[in-house]
Amino acid sequence: MDIPYELIGEAAVYISLTSLAVLFAAIMLGLYSFKKIIFPTFVLFVLDLMYSPAKWLCRVFSIRSTLIDEIMVEIRNGVYLDDFKKIKDNKILVGPQCMRHPECKARCDPCIGYICQSCGKCDFTRLKKECEKKGYDMFIVPGDSFVRKIVKLRKPNAALGIACFEELNESMHDLSPTLPVQGVALLRDGCFNTAVNVEDVIDRMV
């Protein structure tokens, strides 16, 4: 039996072109979502399914590498905002340890991360006060694995996260099937001396 290599090759080309067209459409809709969110389920499904090719496409066209994550965070914020607002208790705020002051003396609990001492040297002091006012529990974590531990231990009804776009997108993707989520991206990311717009975080704490 002859193997129809030519037919297989043509089919592969058509499938690849169709996939790229669908991905391009999802990205365009995602970009429009910064103004108005439309077809969020389609956009999230395609970008989740084709996350790596989407990132590759951005590199090919010299587009900032975080664009896909920015789109997905924006859409998830819009999709889950109403449900998030309805939750009035047992909410958590999760921030990254890289926002801590270099002289931070907080100890790291192996299950829930760093325990803020309200020393006033970084933004976590103010965020902790806001959490106490609005009924949130605040957690400062060294990595994504701590987020999963905290959710498993504390069983929150909703979660607000602070992180770089890639980690924020990943965490929101993991948590959104089970509880409403919101996210605020860092203004300056990295592994040390990062920063967030505190007012944006407080505004999200509805």
pLDDT for 15-57, tens place per residue? Answer: 888 888 999 899 999 998 888 999 999 999 999 999 999 999 9
pLDDT for 72-86, tens place per residue? Answer: 999 999 999 999 999
Q: Indicate the pLDDT class of residue 202, thresholds 50, 70 and 90.
A: very high
pLDDT for 157-167, tens place per residue? Answer: 999 999 999 99
The tokens describing 101, both together, are 């002051």
Looking at the chain, the domain(s) classified CATH 3.40.50 span 82-204
Q: Can you give the pLDDT at residue 7?
A: 74
Strand ranges of the sheet holding 113-114, from the earlier edge strand across to the other edge: 108-109, 113-114, 136-141, 91-96, 158-163, 181-185
pLDDT for 132-169, tens place per residue? Answer: 999 999 999 998 889 999 999 999 999 999 999 999 99
* 82-204: in CATH 3.40.50: yes
pLDDT for 183-201, tens place per residue? Answer: 999 998 877 889 999 999 9
